[in-house]
Every structure is written in structure tokens, then in C-alpha cells.
Amino acid sequence: MTRSRFDSLAPVDCHPLRGVIFDMDGVLTDTIEFHYQTWQRLADEEGIPFSRQANEALRGLSRRDSLLRILQGRVLPEATIQELLERKNRYFRSFIETMTADYLLPGVQVFLKDLREAGIKTAVASASQNVYIVIEKLGIASDIDVITNVYDVDRPKPAPDVFLYAAQQLGLGPEDCVVFEDAESGVEAARAAQMRVIGLGDAAQVGAADWVLPGLEGVRWHHIQAKLNPGV
């Protein structure tokens, strides 16, 4: 008999799960190419070296933290930093205005429907300030109970603040929630929040997660229950 990636699951925790918190980029949709092109344009305009490899290192970081990493210690006045951040965001917004439901990653719509039917609360907790417009463009706003980002809290990922805030807005405790993340900083943030976390994508980036899957395609809530809530 062919074994699936859901076979022989070792239990992680028996506390009942009542909420799912998603990161956005790399979990629900993938705007990494948009980010690369807009950061590359900004870097070219400012004469700063940049590459696709450098862009990959920005996964899960806020826009400001991304810029500071790109600057590699280069000190600029705060007014200049703000202008660069605003310019980058203008470039990025021009891309996301073209987004539709076609930009959803495989399995997302079916999994969200599954969660809704199971009575599971849902939130999106992103590093992106544009999370609200992206979720609207993707056509899934009605499937998400809470939308928030790191700009709503004091500290960005890898601090746990945005996940704790999302759980609070859902009316749940950390122990009630499982986080879906694709970035090392996000996995670290979820673990710091004392939440269970499922890593999606490259195990090298999300290996500290409780469970690593290639993506949401084919995933159902009963798979999550079997892994994290056996017997519940």
C-alpha cells in the first residue's frame, strides 16, 4: 500500500485546537517575485547591490527590517529611510492591484472551506502592511475572521507579538492555536508565542516547526487533528 505524508503521525499535543493563524506570503499566496522586483528596482535606483538570493533572506521580515538588511549597515537619515520605504511600497502596490483569486496557492480555498465547516476560527498575521488589500484581492476576506500585521504590535517577527495579538482578537489563548508559516522568523515567533506551528515549504527554513509539509494542497483539518489532537 502506498503511504502518504499523513501516515504514522506522532502526536504533538493533546490540547484541543480552536483556531488557525496563517502567515500570508508563502502560505496563502506567493508575492516573492513582486517583492524581488520592487526591491531590485529600489536597489538599482540607489546603487545598492541586490540579488534574488538576497531577496530570499527577507522572507518573514517587515518592510523596514528588510530595508535595513539590504542597506547592510549603511547609515541613512530617518527621513531618507521613510522615503525609501514609501517608494518601495508604491512599486509593490502597483503589482498587487493586479492580483486575483488565481494567485492563491494550491489547496488554500479548499482548506479554508474545511476550516469553516469544522467551526475553526481563522486569522492572518502577516509581516506585510498590505495584507488587507491582498486578502481582498484574493477573494478570501469572508473566510478569515481576523486580519492583522506586525504594524499593529510593538515588535515584528521573530517576536511573538503579532501571533499573540491575532489569538487575542480571535478570543483564544496561545494553546488554542496552530500557526502555518513558511519562514524561519515566523516559526520562531510562533514557538515564542507557545503555539503549535506547521511549517510549509523548505524544511531548511522551517525545520523547527512541529510538522513540515510542502504546502496546503491535499491538507484537511482532520489531518491536523490527527497530528496535533489525537483522540480529541
SS3 149: strand
- Which amino acid type is present at position 149? N
Which residue among the candidates 23, 161, 182, 210 is catalytic per the annotation? 23
Residue 25 a catalytic site member: yes
Question: What would the DSSP string read from start to end of 19-61?
Answer: EEEE-SBTTTB--HHHHHHHHHHHHHHHT----HHHHHTTTT-
Question: What would the DSSP string read from start to end of 187-220?
Answer: HHHHHHTT-EEEEES-HHHHTTSSEEES-STT--
Which residue among the candidates 13, 25, 102, 176 is catalytic per the annotation? 25
Query: Which cell goes with 175?
Result: 494553546
**Residue 23: count of CB within 10 angstroms of its CB:** 30
| C-alpha to C-alpha distance for 90 and 229, rounded to whole angstroms | 44
- Look at strands 211-213 and 196-200 and give their pairing: parallel
Residue 23 a catalytic site member: yes
| Catalytic machinery residues | 23, 25
